[in-house]
Amino acid sequence: MSNMKNGAKFLYGRRVSVLKIMSKHSATLVIMFLITLLPIFQYQAYAHATLEKSTPQQQGIIKHKPEAIKLEFNEPVNTKYSSVTLFDDKGKKIKDLKPITTGWSQTVVFSSEQIVNGTNTIEWHTVSADGHEVGDTFEFSVGKVTAKDEHTSLPLYEQSKFWFGLLRYVTEGATFLLIGLFWLNGIAKKRGLRQFNVLPKQSGIAWIMAMSVLVSLVVYMMTLTSDILEDILSFKLEVIMQFPYILSSISLIILFILFILKDMEKIWYWLISIIMIAVISMSGHVWSQQVPLWSIIIRTIHLIGLTLWLGSLVYLICYAIKVKIDQLTSVRRMLLKVNIIAVIMLVFTGILMAIDETNILTLWNNVSAWSIYLFIKIAGTITMMLLGFYQTMRALRQRQQVHRFALMIELLIGMILIVAGIMMSQINIRS
Protein backbone atom coordinates (compact mmCIF):
# COMPACT_ATOMS: atom_id res chain seq x y z
CA MET A 1 0.00 0.00 0.00
CA SER A 2 2.81 2.37 0.92
CA ASN A 3 4.51 1.56 -2.38
CA MET A 4 1.34 2.52 -4.23
CA LYS A 5 1.19 5.82 -2.34
CA ASN A 6 4.85 6.51 -3.07
CA GLY A 7 4.25 5.69 -6.73
CA ALA A 8 1.28 8.02 -6.84
CA LYS A 9 3.29 10.79 -5.21
CA PHE A 10 6.10 10.25 -7.72
CA LEU A 11 3.69 10.42 -10.67
CA TYR A 12 2.01 13.49 -9.19
CA GLY A 13 5.36 15.19 -8.65
CA ARG A 14 6.45 14.36 -12.18
CA ARG A 15 3.14 15.69 -13.48
CA VAL A 16 3.59 18.95 -11.60
CA SER A 17 7.16 19.37 -12.88
CA VAL A 18 5.99 18.80 -16.45
CA LEU A 19 3.22 21.36 -16.00
CA LYS A 20 5.72 23.84 -14.59
CA ILE A 21 7.96 23.38 -17.63
CA MET A 22 4.95 23.70 -19.90
CA SER A 23 3.77 26.84 -18.12
CA LYS A 24 7.23 28.42 -18.28
CA HIS A 25 7.64 27.85 -22.00
CA SER A 26 4.02 28.61 -22.75
CA ALA A 27 4.63 32.14 -21.49
CA THR A 28 7.50 32.52 -23.97
CA LEU A 29 5.37 31.10 -26.74
CA VAL A 30 2.42 33.39 -26.04
CA ILE A 31 4.65 36.47 -25.88
CA MET A 32 6.30 35.67 -29.22
CA PHE A 33 2.95 34.88 -30.81
CA LEU A 34 1.45 38.17 -29.58
CA ILE A 35 4.44 40.05 -30.99
CA THR A 36 3.68 38.62 -34.43
CA LEU A 37 0.09 39.86 -34.09
CA LEU A 38 0.99 43.43 -33.14
CA PRO A 39 1.11 44.71 -36.73
CA ILE A 40 -2.63 44.03 -36.97
CA PHE A 41 -3.22 47.07 -34.84
CA GLN A 42 -0.84 49.24 -36.84
CA TYR A 43 -1.64 48.55 -40.48
CA GLN A 44 -5.17 48.04 -41.62
CA ALA A 45 -5.65 48.69 -45.31
CA TYR A 46 -2.40 48.78 -47.25
CA ALA A 47 -1.15 46.65 -50.14
CA HIS A 48 2.27 46.62 -51.71
CA ALA A 49 3.05 50.09 -53.01
CA THR A 50 2.93 50.40 -56.79
CA LEU A 51 4.33 53.20 -58.90
CA GLU A 52 1.45 54.96 -60.65
CA LYS A 53 3.25 57.93 -62.23
CA SER A 54 6.79 59.19 -62.64
CA THR A 55 8.46 62.43 -63.67
CA PRO A 56 10.18 62.04 -66.12
CA GLN A 57 7.68 59.65 -67.68
CA GLN A 58 8.71 56.04 -68.18
CA GLN A 59 10.13 55.52 -71.69
CA GLY A 60 9.53 59.22 -72.27
CA ILE A 61 11.71 61.66 -74.25
CA ILE A 62 12.14 65.19 -72.86
CA LYS A 63 13.98 68.19 -74.30
CA HIS A 64 15.60 69.39 -71.08
CA LYS A 65 16.51 67.99 -67.70
CA PRO A 66 13.51 67.95 -65.33
CA GLU A 67 13.44 70.15 -62.25
CA ALA A 68 13.18 67.05 -60.08
CA ILE A 69 12.62 63.31 -60.19
CA LYS A 70 9.17 62.49 -58.84
CA LEU A 71 7.73 59.06 -58.04
CA GLU A 72 4.01 58.94 -57.29
CA PHE A 73 2.67 55.81 -55.57
CA ASN A 74 -0.82 54.47 -54.90
CA GLU A 75 -0.22 54.79 -51.14
CA PRO A 76 2.18 56.56 -48.75
CA VAL A 77 5.65 54.99 -48.57
CA ASN A 78 8.45 55.38 -46.06
CA THR A 79 10.74 58.01 -47.59
CA LYS A 80 13.47 57.19 -45.07
CA TYR A 81 13.92 53.82 -46.78
CA SER A 82 13.36 55.11 -50.32
CA SER A 83 16.13 55.64 -52.85
CA VAL A 84 16.90 55.72 -56.56
CA THR A 85 20.05 54.70 -58.41
CA LEU A 86 20.80 56.57 -61.62
CA PHE A 87 22.56 54.88 -64.57
CA ASP A 88 23.79 56.31 -67.88
CA ASP A 89 23.19 54.89 -71.38
CA LYS A 90 26.05 52.41 -70.98
CA GLY A 91 24.62 50.94 -67.78
CA LYS A 92 27.27 52.66 -65.65
CA LYS A 93 26.13 53.81 -62.24
CA ILE A 94 26.06 57.60 -61.88
CA LYS A 95 24.89 58.03 -58.28
CA ASP A 96 22.65 56.79 -55.50
CA LEU A 97 20.07 59.42 -54.57
CA LYS A 98 18.13 59.89 -51.34
CA PRO A 99 14.79 61.71 -51.41
CA ILE A 100 14.21 65.33 -50.58
CA THR A 101 10.81 64.33 -49.20
CA THR A 102 10.63 63.21 -45.56
CA GLY A 103 8.29 61.02 -43.50
CA TRP A 104 5.51 58.99 -45.11
CA SER A 105 4.45 60.39 -48.47
CA GLN A 106 2.62 59.28 -51.59
CA THR A 107 4.94 61.39 -53.75
CA VAL A 108 8.69 61.03 -53.31
CA VAL A 109 10.94 63.72 -54.79
CA PHE A 110 14.64 63.38 -55.69
CA SER A 111 17.24 65.82 -57.02
CA SER A 112 17.68 65.80 -60.81
CA GLU A 113 21.16 67.40 -60.91
CA GLN A 114 22.89 64.13 -61.83
CA ILE A 115 20.71 63.40 -64.87
CA VAL A 116 22.76 63.34 -68.10
CA ASN A 117 21.85 63.91 -71.75
CA GLY A 118 20.75 60.82 -73.63
CA THR A 119 19.13 57.76 -72.08
CA ASN A 120 19.02 57.46 -68.28
CA THR A 121 17.94 54.46 -66.25
CA ILE A 122 16.34 54.82 -62.82
CA GLU A 123 16.30 51.91 -60.39
CA TRP A 124 14.02 52.78 -57.47
CA HIS A 125 13.41 51.12 -54.11
CA THR A 126 10.99 51.85 -51.30
CA VAL A 127 9.16 50.16 -48.42
CA SER A 128 5.39 49.68 -48.39
CA ALA A 129 3.29 50.20 -45.32
CA ASP A 130 2.95 46.41 -45.02
CA GLY A 131 6.73 46.09 -44.67
CA HIS A 132 7.56 44.71 -48.12
CA GLU A 133 10.42 46.22 -50.04
CA VAL A 134 9.34 47.05 -53.58
CA GLY A 135 11.27 48.36 -56.52
CA ASP A 136 11.58 48.48 -60.27
CA THR A 137 13.53 50.01 -63.14
CA PHE A 138 12.53 52.35 -65.95
CA GLU A 139 14.22 54.42 -68.67
CA PHE A 140 13.78 57.95 -70.01
CA SER A 141 15.83 60.05 -72.39
CA VAL A 142 16.95 63.69 -72.42
CA GLY A 143 17.25 65.06 -75.96
CA LYS A 144 17.29 61.72 -77.77
CA VAL A 145 17.35 57.98 -77.19
CA THR A 146 20.93 56.70 -76.97
CA ALA A 147 20.24 53.23 -75.52
CA LYS A 148 17.37 50.82 -75.00
CA ASP A 149 16.69 48.15 -72.37
CA GLU A 150 20.05 48.62 -70.73
CA HIS A 151 20.59 45.91 -68.12
CA THR A 152 21.70 47.31 -64.77
CA SER A 153 20.90 44.44 -62.43
CA LEU A 154 23.27 41.68 -61.34
CA PRO A 155 22.94 38.13 -62.69
CA LEU A 156 20.27 36.11 -60.90
CA TYR A 157 22.75 33.89 -59.04
CA GLU A 158 24.48 36.98 -57.61
CA GLN A 159 21.29 38.44 -56.16
CA SER A 160 20.55 37.83 -52.49
CA LYS A 161 16.80 37.85 -53.26
CA PHE A 162 17.24 34.75 -55.41
CA TRP A 163 18.99 32.84 -52.62
CA PHE A 164 16.46 34.07 -50.09
CA GLY A 165 13.61 32.78 -52.24
CA LEU A 166 15.33 29.41 -52.59
CA LEU A 167 16.02 29.07 -48.86
CA ARG A 168 12.51 30.17 -47.96
CA TYR A 169 11.09 27.55 -50.30
CA VAL A 170 13.23 24.81 -48.75
CA THR A 171 12.52 25.75 -45.12
CA GLU A 172 8.79 26.34 -45.48
CA GLY A 173 8.34 23.31 -47.76
CA ALA A 174 10.19 21.08 -45.29
CA THR A 175 8.11 22.49 -42.43
CA PHE A 176 4.86 21.61 -44.21
CA LEU A 177 6.10 18.07 -44.96
CA LEU A 178 7.36 17.40 -41.42
CA ILE A 179 4.27 18.78 -39.70
CA GLY A 180 2.01 16.97 -42.16
CA LEU A 181 3.75 13.67 -41.44
CA PHE A 182 3.47 14.36 -37.69
CA TRP A 183 -0.29 14.87 -38.04
CA LEU A 184 -0.71 11.72 -40.15
CA ASN A 185 1.31 9.71 -37.63
CA GLY A 186 -1.06 10.91 -34.90
CA ILE A 187 -4.09 9.88 -36.94
CA ALA A 188 -2.48 6.53 -37.84
CA LYS A 189 -1.66 5.83 -34.18
CA LYS A 190 -5.33 6.14 -33.23
CA ARG A 191 -6.18 3.62 -35.96
CA GLY A 192 -3.45 1.19 -34.96
CA LEU A 193 -1.50 1.71 -38.19
CA ARG A 194 2.23 1.91 -38.79
CA GLN A 195 3.93 5.18 -37.86
CA PHE A 196 6.96 6.92 -39.32
CA ASN A 197 8.01 9.28 -36.57
CA VAL A 198 10.30 12.22 -37.33
CA LEU A 199 9.00 15.06 -35.19
CA PRO A 200 9.17 15.38 -32.26
CA LYS A 201 11.15 12.19 -31.58
CA GLN A 202 14.11 13.03 -33.83
CA SER A 203 15.22 16.24 -32.15
CA GLY A 204 18.18 16.66 -34.50
CA ILE A 205 15.79 17.30 -37.41
CA ALA A 206 14.05 20.06 -35.44
CA TRP A 207 17.39 21.71 -34.63
CA ILE A 208 18.37 21.53 -38.31
CA MET A 209 15.05 23.17 -39.25
CA ALA A 210 15.53 25.91 -36.66
CA MET A 211 19.02 26.64 -38.02
CA SER A 212 17.70 26.58 -41.60
CA VAL A 213 15.11 29.20 -40.73
CA LEU A 214 17.85 31.27 -39.08
CA VAL A 215 20.01 31.09 -42.24
CA SER A 216 16.98 32.05 -44.34
CA LEU A 217 16.40 35.04 -42.05
CA VAL A 218 20.04 36.15 -42.35
CA VAL A 219 19.87 35.97 -46.15
CA TYR A 220 16.56 37.88 -46.10
CA MET A 221 18.19 40.67 -44.12
CA MET A 222 20.90 40.81 -46.79
CA THR A 223 18.17 41.76 -49.29
CA LEU A 224 17.35 44.88 -47.27
CA THR A 225 19.07 48.21 -47.77
CA SER A 226 21.82 49.28 -45.39
CA ASP A 227 19.72 51.96 -43.65
CA ILE A 228 16.90 49.48 -42.96
CA LEU A 229 19.36 46.87 -41.74
CA GLU A 230 21.06 49.37 -39.45
CA ASP A 231 17.77 50.27 -37.78
CA ILE A 232 16.80 46.60 -37.41
CA LEU A 233 20.14 45.69 -35.84
CA SER A 234 19.68 48.65 -33.50
CA PHE A 235 16.54 46.83 -32.28
CA LYS A 236 14.21 49.68 -33.18
CA LEU A 237 10.87 48.00 -32.49
CA GLU A 238 8.84 50.35 -34.71
CA VAL A 239 11.09 49.37 -37.66
CA ILE A 240 11.13 45.64 -36.90
CA MET A 241 7.32 45.66 -36.72
CA GLN A 242 7.24 46.75 -40.37
CA PHE A 243 8.85 43.50 -41.52
CA PRO A 244 6.53 40.55 -40.77
CA TYR A 245 8.94 37.96 -42.18
CA ILE A 246 11.48 38.78 -39.46
CA LEU A 247 8.87 38.31 -36.72
CA SER A 248 7.58 35.15 -38.38
CA SER A 249 11.07 33.64 -38.66
CA ILE A 250 12.00 34.39 -35.04
CA SER A 251 8.74 32.84 -33.86
CA LEU A 252 9.28 29.77 -36.07
CA ILE A 253 12.77 29.20 -34.67
CA ILE A 254 11.44 29.34 -31.10
CA LEU A 255 8.53 27.05 -31.97
CA PHE A 256 10.85 24.40 -33.43
CA ILE A 257 12.83 24.44 -30.19
CA LEU A 258 9.66 24.24 -28.09
CA PHE A 259 8.40 21.40 -30.30
CA ILE A 260 11.13 19.02 -29.14
CA LEU A 261 10.74 19.56 -25.38
CA LYS A 262 10.42 16.15 -23.79
CA ASP A 263 7.75 14.89 -21.40
CA MET A 264 5.13 17.40 -22.52
CA GLU A 265 1.43 16.69 -22.93
CA LYS A 266 0.40 15.44 -26.39
CA ILE A 267 -1.75 18.53 -26.90
CA TRP A 268 1.44 20.61 -26.56
CA TYR A 269 2.94 19.22 -29.79
CA TRP A 270 -0.32 19.53 -31.72
CA LEU A 271 -0.78 23.11 -30.52
CA ILE A 272 2.77 24.10 -31.47
CA SER A 273 2.47 22.52 -34.92
CA ILE A 274 -0.76 24.43 -35.65
CA ILE A 275 0.79 27.69 -34.42
CA MET A 276 3.75 27.04 -36.76
CA ILE A 277 1.38 27.03 -39.72
CA ALA A 278 -0.31 30.20 -38.43
CA VAL A 279 3.08 31.92 -38.06
CA ILE A 280 4.03 31.05 -41.66
CA SER A 281 0.70 32.48 -42.84
CA MET A 282 1.63 35.83 -41.27
CA SER A 283 4.70 36.40 -43.42
CA GLY A 284 2.99 37.29 -46.71
CA HIS A 285 0.24 39.56 -48.02
CA VAL A 286 -2.06 39.19 -45.01
CA TRP A 287 -0.93 42.51 -43.51
CA SER A 288 -1.91 44.31 -46.69
CA GLN A 289 -5.58 43.34 -46.53
CA GLN A 290 -8.51 45.30 -45.13
CA VAL A 291 -8.83 42.98 -42.11
CA PRO A 292 -5.45 41.26 -41.50
CA LEU A 293 -6.82 38.93 -38.80
CA TRP A 294 -9.46 37.53 -41.20
CA SER A 295 -6.78 37.06 -43.89
CA ILE A 296 -4.55 35.25 -41.38
CA ILE A 297 -7.37 32.89 -40.40
CA ILE A 298 -8.32 31.85 -43.94
CA ARG A 299 -4.67 31.54 -45.04
CA THR A 300 -3.89 29.42 -41.96
CA ILE A 301 -6.78 27.08 -42.73
CA HIS A 302 -5.64 26.95 -46.37
CA LEU A 303 -2.10 26.00 -45.33
CA ILE A 304 -3.45 23.41 -42.88
CA GLY A 305 -5.28 21.80 -45.80
CA LEU A 306 -2.08 21.82 -47.88
CA THR A 307 -0.10 20.40 -44.94
CA LEU A 308 -2.62 17.58 -44.45
CA TRP A 309 -2.45 16.70 -48.14
CA LEU A 310 1.36 16.73 -48.25
CA GLY A 311 1.49 14.79 -44.99
CA SER A 312 -0.72 12.12 -46.58
CA LEU A 313 1.65 11.92 -49.54
CA VAL A 314 4.76 11.58 -47.37
CA TYR A 315 3.05 9.00 -45.16
CA LEU A 316 2.02 6.95 -48.21
CA ILE A 317 5.55 7.17 -49.65
CA CYS A 318 6.98 5.89 -46.37
CA TYR A 319 4.31 3.21 -46.26
CA ALA A 320 4.92 2.15 -49.87
CA ILE A 321 8.51 1.23 -49.00
CA LYS A 322 7.25 -1.52 -46.67
CA VAL A 323 3.72 -2.27 -47.80
CA LYS A 324 1.63 -4.58 -45.68
CA ILE A 325 -1.23 -5.89 -47.82
CA ASP A 326 -3.40 -6.65 -44.81
CA GLN A 327 -3.39 -3.00 -43.73
CA LEU A 328 -3.99 -1.38 -47.13
CA THR A 329 -7.76 -1.20 -46.60
CA SER A 330 -7.33 0.67 -43.31
CA VAL A 331 -4.71 2.98 -44.85
CA ARG A 332 -6.96 3.72 -47.81
CA ARG A 333 -9.87 4.67 -45.55
CA MET A 334 -7.68 6.93 -43.45
CA LEU A 335 -6.13 8.71 -46.45
CA LEU A 336 -9.50 9.09 -48.17
CA LYS A 337 -11.00 10.86 -45.15
CA VAL A 338 -7.93 13.07 -44.66
CA ASN A 339 -7.81 13.99 -48.35
CA ILE A 340 -11.52 14.88 -48.45
CA ILE A 341 -11.04 17.20 -45.47
CA ALA A 342 -7.94 18.70 -47.09
CA VAL A 343 -9.75 19.26 -50.39
CA ILE A 344 -12.65 21.04 -48.68
CA MET A 345 -10.21 23.28 -46.80
CA LEU A 346 -8.11 24.06 -49.89
CA VAL A 347 -11.01 24.82 -52.23
CA PHE A 348 -13.16 26.80 -49.80
CA THR A 349 -10.33 28.93 -48.39
CA GLY A 350 -8.73 29.27 -51.83
CA ILE A 351 -11.90 30.96 -53.09
CA LEU A 352 -12.05 33.21 -50.01
CA MET A 353 -8.37 34.15 -50.39
CA ALA A 354 -8.83 35.09 -54.06
CA ILE A 355 -11.80 37.29 -53.14
CA ASP A 356 -9.93 38.79 -50.19
CA GLU A 357 -6.71 39.57 -52.05
CA THR A 358 -7.73 40.76 -55.48
CA ASN A 359 -10.45 41.58 -57.98
CA ILE A 360 -11.22 38.47 -60.02
CA LEU A 361 -12.12 40.48 -63.15
CA THR A 362 -8.73 42.20 -62.97
CA LEU A 363 -7.00 38.85 -63.22
CA TRP A 364 -8.61 38.18 -66.60
CA ASN A 365 -8.31 41.71 -67.97
CA ASN A 366 -4.78 42.43 -66.79
CA VAL A 367 -2.71 39.27 -66.45
CA SER A 368 0.29 39.69 -64.13
CA ALA A 369 2.87 37.42 -62.54
CA TRP A 370 0.65 37.10 -59.44
CA SER A 371 -2.37 36.02 -61.46
CA ILE A 372 -0.26 33.50 -63.42
CA TYR A 373 0.86 31.91 -60.16
CA LEU A 374 -2.77 31.83 -59.05
CA PHE A 375 -3.77 29.96 -62.22
CA ILE A 376 -0.87 27.54 -61.61
CA LYS A 377 -2.16 26.92 -58.08
CA ILE A 378 -5.68 26.27 -59.33
CA ALA A 379 -4.54 23.87 -62.07
CA GLY A 380 -2.08 22.14 -59.74
CA THR A 381 -4.66 21.71 -56.98
CA ILE A 382 -7.18 20.15 -59.38
CA THR A 383 -4.52 17.78 -60.74
CA MET A 384 -3.45 16.77 -57.21
CA MET A 385 -7.07 16.06 -56.31
CA LEU A 386 -7.56 13.82 -59.34
CA LEU A 387 -4.33 11.93 -58.68
CA GLY A 388 -5.17 11.60 -55.00
CA PHE A 389 -8.61 10.16 -55.63
CA TYR A 390 -7.19 7.83 -58.28
CA GLN A 391 -4.68 6.61 -55.70
CA THR A 392 -7.23 5.98 -52.97
CA MET A 393 -10.17 4.77 -55.07
CA ARG A 394 -8.42 2.59 -57.66
CA ALA A 395 -4.77 1.84 -56.91
CA LEU A 396 -5.26 1.12 -53.21
CA ARG A 397 -8.73 -0.40 -53.44
CA GLN A 398 -8.75 -2.38 -56.70
CA ARG A 399 -5.08 -3.19 -57.20
CA GLN A 400 -4.20 -3.37 -53.51
CA GLN A 401 -0.97 -1.50 -54.17
CA VAL A 402 0.47 2.00 -54.30
CA HIS A 403 0.82 3.61 -57.73
CA ARG A 404 4.29 5.04 -57.14
CA PHE A 405 4.56 7.07 -60.35
CA ALA A 406 1.28 8.89 -59.64
CA LEU A 407 2.45 9.40 -56.07
CA MET A 408 5.70 11.06 -57.14
CA ILE A 409 3.91 13.27 -59.67
CA GLU A 410 1.49 14.34 -56.97
CA LEU A 411 4.33 15.19 -54.58
CA LEU A 412 6.12 17.15 -57.32
CA ILE A 413 2.96 19.18 -57.97
CA GLY A 414 2.70 19.81 -54.23
CA MET A 415 6.23 21.24 -54.24
CA ILE A 416 5.33 23.46 -57.20
CA LEU A 417 2.28 24.74 -55.32
CA ILE A 418 4.51 25.72 -52.39
CA VAL A 419 6.78 27.63 -54.78
CA ALA A 420 3.76 29.38 -56.30
CA GLY A 421 2.44 30.32 -52.86
CA ILE A 422 5.80 31.75 -51.76
CA MET A 423 6.18 33.75 -54.98
CA MET A 424 2.65 35.12 -54.61
CA SER A 425 3.45 36.30 -51.09
CA GLN A 426 6.43 38.30 -52.35
CA ILE A 427 5.09 40.10 -55.44
CA ASN A 428 2.45 42.72 -56.05
CA ILE A 429 -1.22 41.80 -56.14
CA ARG A 430 -3.36 43.11 -58.95
CA SER A 431 -6.36 44.72 -57.31
Tell me: the pLDDT tens digits for 229-282?
Answer: 888 888 877 777 778 888 889 999 999 998 888 878 888 899 999 999 999 888
Residue 161: predicted pLDDT: 74
List Cβ neighbours of 357 (8 Å cut-off, separation of 6 or more): 285, 289, 295, 429, 431
Question: Alpha-carbon distance 135 to 83, whole Å?
Answer: 9
List Cβ neighbours of 256 (8 Å cut-off, separation of 6 or more): 206, 207, 209, 210, 213, 276
Residue 274: predicted pLDDT: 92
Residue 229: predicted pLDDT: 84
Of the segments 161-170, 180-189, 233-242, 325-334, which one has the largest average pLDDT value? 180-189
Question: Alpha-carbon distance 149 to 91, whole Å?
Answer: 10
Q: Is 159 helix (H, G, I), strand (E, B) or coil?
A: coil
pTM for this model (two decimals): 0.69
Question: Alpha-carbon distance 130 to 295, whole Å?
Answer: 14
Average pLDDT score over the chain? 76
Q: Where are the alpha helices (DSSP H) in 358-403?
A: 360-365, 369-390
Residue 426: predicted pLDDT: 57
**Dihedral of CA 411/416/419/423: which sign?**
negative
The pLDDT of residue 151 is above 70:
no
The pLDDT of residue 182 is above 70:
yes
